[in-house]
Structure 1
């Protein structure tokens, strides 16, 4: 298995489907890059959603909520 396939497998945290054997190393590397970018964007969106959701929490309760969420 190539380095690109190993890296994609690590990113997915799962074995690659058999059909991925037909992809070139360049395709696998591009897929890995796109997946990592999507995961990063999702993380940023989740952080923004959590931050924005604190706006509906009464101000006096925010420290307790942040502590419960680990923020």
Structure 2
């Protein structure tokens, strides 16, 4: 298994499908980069959604809600 395939496997946290053996290192590296970008975007979007949702919680209750959510 190439370094690019091993990196992608680590990113996915799962074994790669058999069809991925047909991809070159450049393709595997690009797929890994795209997955990292998608995960970063998802995390930022989720953080923004959590922050926005706290606007609907009364100000005095926000510390308790944050503590319950582990923020």
Q: How does 1:21-60 map to 2 (within 5 A)?
A: 21-60=21-60
TM-score when normalising by structure 1: 0.98
1:8 and 1:68 map into 2 onto residues whose CA distance is: 34
1:47 and 1:25 map into 2 onto residues whose CA distance is: 33
TM-superposed deviation, 1:69: 1.1
Q: Which runs of 4+ in 1 moved over 4 A?
A: none
1:54 and 1:42 map into 2 onto residues whose CA distance is: 18
TM-superposed deviation, 1:54: 0.2
1:32 and 1:39 map into 2 onto residues whose CA distance is: 11
What RMSD, in angstroms, separates the aligned Cα atoms of the two structures?
0.4
Give the length in aligned residue pairs. Answer: 71
The match for 1:19 is 19
TM-superposed deviation, 1:70: 1.4
Q: 1:4-32 CA deviation, whole Å, 9 max, x = no partner?
A: 00000000000000000000000000000
Structure 2 segments unaligned to the other structure (5+ residues): none
